[in-house]
Amino acid sequence: MDASDPPQAEWLMKRNCSLSPRQALLVYALLSGATLGIALVFTFQGAWMVLAFALLEAAAVGAALLHYSRHALDHERIRLQDGWLLVEHADGPRRHVLRLDPAHARVHLPDTRMRTLVEIDARGVHAEIGRYLTPSARLDLVRALRQALRGVSLLYPDRKNLL
């Protein structure tokens, strides 16, 4: 299997965002344009302080939308591919990828009632995933991961081969 082969199994969990970064830029341009346009009308009539506050507002809205846009594409991806369990976490500009041995991977949810993350341990490597999932969806993820690992894991043997 080479790198271009599709993964055997893949899960993608994204942050729930209403706007893409491009849409956020468009919203910022429209809001700032309207605010500054109105402020310029008042400035030409002698109320120059309106322009100062409009610039301050545009800067504050810009900073908030910049922060939003940096994290709008945050995600977690789990792939079972090329004999590895790859766990990727993208948080703003940072991207972390862990390679876990699926034969020794242990998937568990410490507390199903609480807001704990799904834990995957394999040969001393530890990953926590499920930041963008509801508690019930985390439980579904644990079940799906265990099912996918049945064929390759020593901890989750394939029930058909036990007979």
Taking only the tens of pLDDT, the chain with its 163 residues reads 455 555 578 999 998 888 899 999 999 999 999 999 999 999 999 999 999 999 999 999 999 999 998 888 899 999 988 888 999 999 888 999 999 998 888 998 888 677 789 999 998 999 999 999 988 899 999 999 988 888 777 776 665 544 3
DSSP letter (8 states) at residue 154: S
Architecture of domain 75-155: Roll (2.30)
Count of C-beta atoms within a 10 Å radius of residue 131: 15
Pairing of strands 84-91, 118-122: unpaired
**Residue 93: what pLDDT?**
86
Instruction: Measure the CA–CA gap between 163 and 25, rounded to whole angstroms.
Output: 59
Instruction: Measure the CA–CA gap between 44 and 104, rounded to whole angstroms.
Output: 71
CB 93 within 8 A of CB 80: no
Phi, psi (degrees; rounded to nearest 5) at 95 = -135, 125
